[in-house]
Amino acid sequence: MSATELNNLLDLADSIDTRLTTVLTINARHQFAMNLTAEYAEVMQAYRNVGLCFVAGNPAYLTSEERRLDIKSRITDLVKMSRVGLPDAEIFVGSEGLDGTSSELAAEYSTIPFMLLGPQVHDQAADFLQDTAVSAVYCPCNMSATNDADLVKALGSYALRRKWVRRSLRREGFNVPEVTSTVASGAYPADGAGKVLASAIRELALCDHDQTRNMLQRFSSNGIKYAAVLLAEENKAQSQILSRLADYAS
């Protein structure tokens, strides 16, 4: 969006609820990331409830030139530039593949390491506590799924983007391209591949009431203050679930 559109958005957010914080996520390797961040930061200086999140970006959405950019120096420069104009704003730094950089920036610029929910998230959070009091985690969510097929339909493609999930499938003798094609078509993989995928999804997402309550409690004890919850499906039922989650977390 343009700086003018951002300004209009922040005006609207303030008019709806002054407790609402607007956080913009920026793909650090995008060719216009530096210019956009500078423009956004200038607009954001006039508002209190604002924040930024810098991520490495999925290579699938980058040009070959953008993929060659050094992500560590890129994110570091973006954080430094942003902190000048936004000394008190919350700045999140995606930690996937960048744990060391996230820790260094947290210690020097009071940024917040932003992890992906997965098997190692609690160990990561414990490591980050050495450099910062808080961290954040990105949590896909589908709490209305009643069986493995529902889970795979909602979050199978997301899970297949993770290397360890693809390795798990190969280790069990499954053809990953075939499984990926089946999931993309909306079908449930046969011959046990679906169960392997569903099991992985339960480590990558919030999937049921009890698991979610336990996960939120562990987050709190490990210094994870922020949980960014992405609904796998946009509908009334999912929104009501998210509302109940927010009530519980608060």
Do 91 and 159 fall into the same domain? Answer: no
Helix axis angle, 33-44 to 3-16, nearest 10°: 40
Do 100 and 53 fall into the same domain? Answer: yes
Do 136 and 111 fall into the same domain? Answer: yes
Which of the listed residues 204, 221, 239 is the one where a domain comes to its end? Answer: 204
Do 158 and 175 fall into the same domain? Answer: yes
d(CA 72, CA 40): 21
Do 133 and 222 fall into the same domain? Answer: yes
Reported as a single tens digit per residue, the pLDDT across 8-48 is 999 999 898 878 899 999 999 999 999 999 999 999 999 98
Return the structure tokens found at 204: 């990558």
Helix axis angle, 148-159 to 193-204, nearest 10°: 70
Do 136 and 110 fall into the same domain? Answer: yes
Q: How many domains does the chain have?
A: 2
d(CA 170, CA 183): 16
* Mean pLDDT of the region 70-82: 94
Do 224 and 103 fall into the same domain? Answer: yes
Residue 57: CA count within 13 A, CB half-sphere: 24
Do 131 and 23 fall into the same domain? Answer: yes
Do 123 and 152 fall into the same domain? Answer: no
Looking at per-residue pLDDT, the higher value among 160 and 208 belongs to 160
Do 43 and 112 fall into the same domain? Answer: yes
Q: What is the pLDDT of residue 250?
A: 62
Structural domain boundaries, residue 178:
148-204
Looking at the whole model, is its pTM more than 0.75?
A: yes
133, 110 contact by CB (below 8 A): no
